[in-house]
Amino acid sequence: MLRFSLIAAAAVALTLAACQKVDDAAKVDGARIEAAEGNGEWLSYGRTYSEQRHSPLTKVNAENVSQLGLAWFAEFDTDRGQEATPIVVDGVLYTTTSWSKVHAFNAKTGEKLWSYDPQVNRAKGFDACCDVVNRGVAVWQGRVYVGTLDGRLVALNASTGKPDWTVQTTDNAQPYTITGAPRVIKGKVLIGNGGAEYGVRGYITAYDAASGKQAWRFYTTPNPKGEADGAASDKVIAEKTKATWFGEGWKATGGGGTVWDAMAYDPALDLLYIGVGNGSPWNHKVRSDGKGDNLFVSSIVALRPDTGEYVWHYQTTPGESWDYTATQHIMLADLPIDGATRRVVMQAPKNGFFYVLDARTGAFISAKPYTTINWATGVDQTGRPAEVPGARYPASPFLALPGPYGAHNWHPMAFNPKEGLVYIPVIDMPYAYGDDPGYRHTQGAWNTAIDSVVNALPTDAATAKAVQAMMGGKLVAWDPVAQKARWTVKHAYYWNAGVLSTAGGLVFQGDAEGKFAAYGAADGKPLWSHDAGQGIIAPASTYEIDGEQYVAVMVGQGGAGATSANSLMGNRPRLPGRLLVFKLGGTATAPKYEIPEVPTLDLSAVKTTGDAERGFRTFQAFCQVCHDGRAAGNFMPDLKKSPMILSAESFKGVVIDGLNAPKGMASFSRFLNATQAEDIRAFILQEAKATAAPPSKG
């Protein structure tokens, strides 16, 4: 008995000592984040508040990067997209996976310390336009913060992974989701949300980091009922934003403008910068009678972090009508402009222009297209894009570059101050925009007021060839002062990973084919690569422990590029996510992925009463966002090979009765009836019979 309790007491003491150590280790605050210059850690999403994603570490450099090998790895229990940036604080690495799960590892050895599963209801996956992803945690004063897909902000004890407090930041009856990483500024946790494709009103909220008590909220669009919200945004909505909205269309959807990704902070100016998303519905004619700029859609907005008070805004796409968000990575830097050093905000939003703005005032400095675009010819002296005739698809469809993926999406950029280069993961992917003549707002469904069939239609050889020629992905090293590319690395597909820059003269980026590579910072020369076995979309981070530098990256294709157009990405199957951590001379090996073979079905005897043409339209409106425009691709189950299409009953069981809801395929009974489901089945059967099943390859 005595012996037992002594051992137990010793164990308790040990645990306490361990807790104490981790608790101390996780004592991150603003001074420490800003002092991150020499400490070899990665303390916040973009490393420091300026979000440059440039590490001062040089142990791994252009001379020795060829010796980089795997130090350790972990495999996860989720197989959807992995977008997180690993955060490293005093020897502990914190990361998240799809379905908003959090994991803590010993950053040197890879030993798992704890995991936290917020148990997100898988039916919530229906509200996620772009996969059930999560981009990572924030760490502050002994707590780890995660935003969950179902709109919770959870504060975990950094040493145990146990929830300390939880707040619901959204109305869960609405199609809000959280995929972005929180930031913590001056003791307040900031979190936004997404959902503008389905119909929500965007906002960002600040919570007290210790207690979870709400400090302030800022709405990016006016209140549809015309009422005051009792929020930090009330004044600017009354004075500025309200007058820029017209008609009734936006009132049903809330106007969009979700703050689903970028934030940055300048401690000297005490300004928080937030990136604001697209309008809802996308189509400006429906949303706002085709009139008005619709503030703060597609804007960067500068706020006071203590109060949420509005300071300035800059709108990149006034009256946007193409899903051209300005939620993309916001970065702060000191640039030499006209002979003086200026503190600037930089962004490469979806619309294809690279913006440089004055960080204090938001004044426009310059903007140039960072890739081929065709919707505008340039910008005027205020930065307002000069649109080409027809860009707003007034009568006929417009095949636009970029499309809704943007010329750049959430995948973070990086900035090397020595080279003066911003590395941009560029997407070249067109989209045919056209009015949806049958548009009716259906709350919770896909509400873009764009005819998705128009985009799916051009299959004649000439159009297909033209579209193919427009498609591609690349890493562009952009000189933001000269506003031109210095070098470009081309990729095989358009949906590639975020970027890491290091003072070792390296740029790290993964790609859709699973190659994690290091390029020379000055010239883009390929210096090293590792085959991860499946596509990478997440940006890497880097850190140093006991004199060794590590490079960590989450592996796992996913996001909108994998769900809605997998067949254009090489038909890659969905595979478990991994965390790969490299160091010089690392000798670990991760096992090869087993690629499941999906047999083709014998459909010769299968009958349907459905109408394939009607089913095609319904499929485009409700299914293509996850199941690929031609019901192809292996990321979600290839419906052409799904045994569920063999009978009307089994298909209805999944689509209407929600039998696969626990796997993330919610019931569509709110939107569709059994006849419509049968029409969709007829379309899939037609596709399955017409196309020889594409070979699956890793």
Q: Catalog residues that contact ligand HEC under the rule CB under 6 A.
A: 125-126, 622-623, 625-627, 636-637, 639, 642-644, 651, 654-655, 660, 663-665, 668, 672, 680
Structure-token pair, residue 685: 């059967």
Smallest distance from the beta carbon of 452 to ligand HEC, in angstroms? Answer: 12
Nearest CA-CA partner of 112 in 150, 74, 142, 148: 74
Nearest CA-CA partner of 69 in 542, 582, 580: 582
Smallest distance from the beta carbon of 556 to ligand HEC, in angstroms? Answer: 14
Structure-token pair, residue 52: 């440059």
Question: How many other C-beta atoms lie within 10 A of the C-beta of residue 476?
Answer: 25
How many Å apart are CA 434 and CA 455, to the nearest integer? 8
Smallest distance from the beta carbon of 298 to ligand HEC, in angstroms? Answer: 24
Between residues 216 and 683, which has the closer beta carbon with respect to ligand HEC? 683
Between residues 198 and 478, which has the closer beta carbon with respect to ligand HEC? 198
Between residues 499 and 625, which has the closer beta carbon with respect to ligand HEC? 625
Smallest distance from the beta carbon of 636 to ligand HEC, in angstroms? Answer: 5
Smallest distance from the beta carbon of 118 to ligand HEC, in angstroms? Answer: 18
Between residues 134 and 347, which has the closer beta carbon with respect to ligand HEC? 134
Between residues 494 and 619, which has the closer beta carbon with respect to ligand HEC? 619
Smallest distance from the beta carbon of 470 to ligand HEC, in angstroms? Answer: 26
Structure-token pair, residue 595: 């690629």
Cβ proximity of 564 and 625 under 8 Å: yes
How many Å apart are CA 110 and CA 247, to the nearest integer? 56
Between residues 41 and 679, which has the closer beta carbon with respect to ligand HEC? 679
How many Å apart are CA 506 and CA 522, to the nearest integer? 8
Smallest distance from the beta carbon of 625 to ligand HEC, in angstroms? Answer: 5
How many Å apart are CA 622 and CA 210, to the nearest integer? 41
Cβ proximity of 665 and 657 under 8 Å: no
How many Å apart are CA 514 and CA 574, to the nearest integer? 13
Query: Which residue is listed with tokens 């909205």?
Result: 245
Backbone dihedral angles phi then psi of residue 214, each to the nearest 5 degrees? -65, 130
Between residues 58 and 669, which has the closer beta carbon with respect to ligand HEC? 669
Taking the CA of residue 473 as centre, how many other CA atoms within 13 Å lie in the half-sphere pointing to its CB? Answer: 22
Cβ proximity of 534 and 554 under 8 Å: no
Structure-token pair, residue 259: 């703050």
Smallest distance from the beta carbon of 574 to ligand HEC, in angstroms? Answer: 7
Between residues 366 and 696, which has the closer beta carbon with respect to ligand HEC? 696
Smallest distance from the beta carbon of 536 to ligand HEC, in angstroms? Answer: 21
Q: Is 312 left (phi over 0), alpha (psi -120 to 50) or beta?
A: beta
Smallest distance from the beta carbon of 622 to ligand HEC, in angstroms? Answer: 4
Q: Angle 569-575-580 (CA atoms, 0-180°, nearest 5)? A: 100
Cβ proximity of 264 and 305 under 8 Å: no
Smallest distance from the beta carbon of 445 to ligand HEC, in angstroms? Answer: 9
Structure-token pair, residue 430: 């067109």
Query: Which residue is listed with tokens 């699956």?
Result: 696
Nearest CA-CA partner of 544 in 27, 58, 21, 19: 58
Smallest distance from the beta carbon of 655 to ligand HEC, in angstroms? Answer: 5
Structure-token pair, residue 501: 């820059």
Smallest distance from the beta carbon of 81 to ligand HEC, in angstroms? Answer: 12
Between residues 43 and 623, which has the closer beta carbon with respect to ligand HEC? 623
Smallest distance from the beta carbon of 604 to ligand HEC, in angstroms? Answer: 19
Between residues 331 and 648, which has the closer beta carbon with respect to ligand HEC? 648
How many Å apart are CA 16 and CA 159, to the nearest integer? 10
Question: How many other C-beta atoms lie within 10 A of the C-beta of residue 422?
Answer: 26
Q: Please give the torsion angle defined by the CA atoms of residues 463, 469, 473 and 479, in that order, rounded to the nearest 10 degrees.
A: -120
Between residues 158 and 626, which has the closer beta carbon with respect to ligand HEC? 626
Between residues 457 and 659, which has the closer beta carbon with respect to ligand HEC? 659
How many Å apart are CA 309 and CA 357, to the nearest integer? 20
Between residues 272 and 639, which has the closer beta carbon with respect to ligand HEC? 639
Between residues 484 and 670, which has the closer beta carbon with respect to ligand HEC? 670
How many Å apart are CA 525 and CA 101, to the nearest integer? 36
Cβ proximity of 416 and 54 under 8 Å: yes
Structure-token pair, residue 608: 């349907």
